[in-house]
Structures are given as structure tokens and as C-alpha cells.
Structure 1
């Protein structure tokens, strides 16, 4: 039995990441594409020989689940509509443009409570689906018994032709989400975060994890294009150290795992550990960090 999944969005990530993964997953029937740009939706749908839907509600009539490749500001209202129809949601990260939107999506509004309680939700934190990252967290980090850690991300992701919303929000609300999430996974639930720096330049984070653990992260996503990308996470403890560079850890295999797990969760009605509640936890951390950054300008 296959799970029918529609794709909301027809931009670069939809075309280069989501659509190929949905089309190639054995457990998924790619139901079609909807976008606020009808021509873009038609073009992407034609590439994969699936329907292009004229309206979001029409797509919901033809699928069990929706994968979102839309800007964060657009996602909460669309995902809430899907949840109201008991359609599962694969959410982009961050799950919203701000904390209010994330809280609405995760359950502050009556309709969005459906997302949290009755409908499968999953967040596309792609690093976490990579085999190398899972081995790192499950074996190397456990062996190190970490008491603290560091992260360093150097990227050109926002240096030139990034979508306007990504360039506007800066590194924290882009790949910064993945860094915070992985430190959270490696060192335990993050209770507090502090930030300083330039929201659209270099920023530093200090994270306090439950259990008396601490980590620090330095992030830059406007590096020159010829500078090698780095996404290094390293933890330290009585068992030694454990390091991984996530810039080399993700790819088609991670995306394939992500959509396969989503299809399995939808088919069997099982919650996923990286669900909308986890997305809300990360959004709260991002909001606290962004507040510090804006106050320091």
C-alpha cells in the first residue's frame, strides 16, 4: 500500500529536493503539485508526470499527506488547513516565520491542535536522516559521554542567489536551525540559548542543556563561494571526543530516508520523534536567539 503525498511549493527546494524524493520513494505515490505560482506548478508537475492542482484545497482532496516546500511565513496556515482535513504534514524548517506562527501550528489554535494530537507531523531536519549523523549520535556521541560541545558552520548558502525570505532572516533561521537541533540531540534538551552578532552575518550562540551541559556555536552563511563549506559539530566528555562535518553527511540518501519514514508514519498512524512539537521547541530557541541579536544591533 502506498501513501499519496502532494507537494506544496514549486521553487528550487521543491524542484531539486522534494519532488525527486517523492517520485522515487517506493512507499509513496506522488499525488501532484500545488503552488501559488500556477505556471511553476505546471512546469514541475510536467517533469514528473503528475497533476498540477489549481488550488490547495483541491490537492488535499487527492492525497493522504502534504510535503511543504514553501516559505516559513506561508506554512502555518496551509499546514493547519491540511490538519483540519486530517491530512498528514511534512514540514519545512523552521516550521514558521515567528514564534506566534509556530505556536498556532503546534496547538495554540483549536484547528492546529489537530496537527499535534491526531495527524502525523514530521519536520524536514535533513541532517537527522543522514546515516552518518545517526551513527554519530547513536554510537560516537554515546561513547564520548559528552559534557559539552562546539559547532562551526561556514557556508555560502546566503551569499548570492538565496530566496528573499532566507536572505532577510539570515543564517540563524536557515541552516542555524539544523545546528541548534543537532547540538540539542547530542547534548540533551536545550533549556536556554543566548546569541550575539549580526543576524545576516557572523553570529555566536551559547546553549545551556539540561543536566549541566553547555555548547557554543559560530555561524556564517555569507562566506565567499570558493571557501570550502563546513558544518562541524564536536562534543567532549570522559569518553573522549566525537566530531562530524554535516556538510558532507546529507544528500539523496538522507532525503530518501526522510520521506520513507514519513510514509511509514502516515500509513501506521505513528508519531515521529521529529514532529511539530519538536519544531516548536526549536522555534522557541530561535526566537530567544533572534531577540538577543536584534537587541544588540
Structure 2
């Protein structure tokens, strides 16, 4: 699969480009970015071409991987899908439900494969745990805490404008939902949402399977308090999401595997653009409650 990379920021440099250049079943064809100099530097580092025209890159590849802010990603994903290119997207899929729906519809209409990179879903130990817990239907409640120190520690993402604007709900909220939804089922209703310190938010969800869950999400946690925990409680007792032994580059390589498999077999991946849209809808519902609470 010839694949191009859209984006040149920290995530593209740290994860996407190394995974694509080291993958045995991909030809890392080139890089396009909103900053031409950054695209040239990243392409030179990985031995591929730098493109200053995104349509020229799309003409040369079978698929694109996107490492861009959600509103930029959504527009380019639609463009790529309409050009017949498979999509390896980042979370969140889009910044609004309308944008997310446009991506999902474009992928479906063009019959291209899509995978959204929810990191935890592509790390071996957490993914196996999610599959095991999803086989049970007696969960009573769940608690997910996804606490980052992006704005309080030494993070390469601290200057990210979209994270400053959208906060933890949209940045780490997708990770929490990507774990809870396959285990507890779809969200029937966002029952409550409230602000905490900094950009911290608390969200309560009612799931179709009858369980409820609570999310605590933050990018402004004290560095010593940062980390992710998911705890399930039910008739069998308590089960906790295991820590991943694999890094994000390895997980992204597995997402590339998933895209190749979906493209070859035509069977949608569980983390496709449709799933990304559903996560976006839940985030938007929580955001609406938070806006109402603040007003």
C-alpha cells in the first residue's frame, strides 16, 4: 500500500512517520503539511517526497494517514475519500457532528476503508482486555479517568491551538469512549456533565446495556497525578484496564495493519469512521451540557 502522510506536527514526527517508514507492507510515499519547510524536513528524514500540493500527493497514493487538527482532518479526509483513497485518521474524527458525518458519508459512498487511531484499541494488552470484557453482559457501572498534564507539564502538545480551544473532553475523551463503548454498549443518553478545575470535566453516561459510567477527563492535572484508569464493576467483581507494554509507534503500526486488512477484505474495522462519528456525537452532546451548565 502506497501511503502518504498529511501533517508535520509532533504526533506526525513522533508516531506516524516512524511507523509508516518502518512498516513492512507500506511504501511511505510522501508528506504534505501546512508548513512547506516542515514537510520537506520530515520527508528528508524518512527518505520520501515532500509535496506542496495535497492533490498531487493524493494522486500518487492508495491511502493517507492524517495527523492534523480535527477540523482540518475532516475536510481533507472527505477530499481523500472522494479521490478513492483509504483513510487512517486520528481522534477525534472531527470538531463537529456535521464534519464527522461528512467524513463517514464520504468514506461509505466511495467504498474506501477507514480506521480511526484510538491508541488504546491498538495496544495488545488493553485490546485483549476490552475483547474479554465485552463478552460479559452483566456490568453494573464503570469509571474512567483520563488525566493528562499537557498544559501543566513538559508536553510537546502544550502549544496546540485546538487542544487549548476544545480541552480534555475532545482530546482524551475519545480514548475513554473507545474503551467503554465496546464493553458497555452505545450511549443511550449523556445524563450529566460538569466542569472541574482547569479544563477538567466530569461526564455521566447511560448505556444501552443498562450500565452507567462516569468519565473524569483533564489536560491540566498535576504531572504526578496524570494517568489513565478504567475500572468496571459487575456481578463478577472488579476488572481494571491493564497498562500497555507497547508504545504508540507499535500501536500505530497495528492500525496500519488494520487499514490494509479492511482495504483488502472489504470488511469494516470496528474503529472505522462510523465509530469515530458516534464518538463525536457523544462528545458534542456532553459539550452542549457543559455549555448550558456554564451559562
**TM-score exceeds 0.5:** yes
Cα separation, 1, equivalents of 2:290 and 2:245: 29
Summarize the Cα distance change of 1:143–1:272 in structure 2 as closer, same or farther, 3 Å threshold. Answer: closer
Q: Is this contact kept in 1: 2:8–2:42, CA < 8 A?
A: yes
- TM-score, normalised to structure 1, is 0.91
Aligned to 1:183: 180
The 5 A counterparts of 1:241-256 are 241-244=238-241, 250-256=247-253
Task: Tell me the secondary structure at the aligned position of residue 192 of structure 1.
Answer: strand
CA contact (8 A) 1:144 1:241 kept: no
Q: Does 1:192 align with 2:189?
A: yes
Q: Distance between the aligned counterparts of 2:289 and 2:197, measured in 1?
A: 10
Q: Does 2:55 match 1:57?
A: yes
Q: Which residue of 2 aligns with 1:123?
A: 116
Cross-structure match for 2:139: 146
Please list every run of 5 or more consecutive structure 1 residues that lacks an aligned counterpart in the other structure: none
- Structure 2 unaligned segments of length 5 or more: list them: none
Maintained 8 Å contact 1:66/1:90 = yes
Q: Does 1:279 align with 2:279?
A: no
**Range with greater deviation from structure 2 (154-163 or 68-77):** 154-163
1:144-203 deviation line (CA, Å, top 9, x unaligned): 842211111222023362411112110000011111221112211112113111595221
Q: Judge conservation of contact 2:168–2:218 (CA < 8 Å) in 1.
A: yes
Q: Per-residue deviation at 1:140?
A: 4.8
TM-aligned CA deviation for residue 8 of structure 1: 0.3
2:256 to 253, 256, 259: 259
Aligned length: 289
> Distance between the aligned counterparts of 1:295 and 1:10, measured in 2?
36
TM-score, normalising length from structure 2?
Answer: 0.92
Residues 145, 228 of structure 2: 8 Å contact kept: yes
Residue aligning to 2:91: 93
CA RMSD of aligned residues (A): 1.9
Per the alignment, residue 70 of structure 2 pairs with 72
Query: Offset of 1:246 from its aligned partner?
Result: 5.0
Aligned to 1:11: 9
1:59-88, Cα deviation, whole Å (9 max, x unpaired) = 011100000001111112211111111101
Name the CA distance, whole Å, in 2 between partners of 1:200 and 1:281: 27
Q: Report SS of the residue matched to 1:95.
A: coil
Q: State the Cα distance separating 1:205 from its structure 2 match.
A: 0.8
Which residue of 2 is the match for residue 231 of structure 1? 228
Distance 1:223 1:275 in 2: 30
Deviations 1:95-152 (A, max 9, x none): 1111121122222xxxx2x445611111111110111112211225646842211111
> Is the Cα–Cα contact under 8 Å of residues 92 and 171 in structure 2 kept in the other structure?
yes
Cα deviation for residue 255 of structure 1 reads 1.8
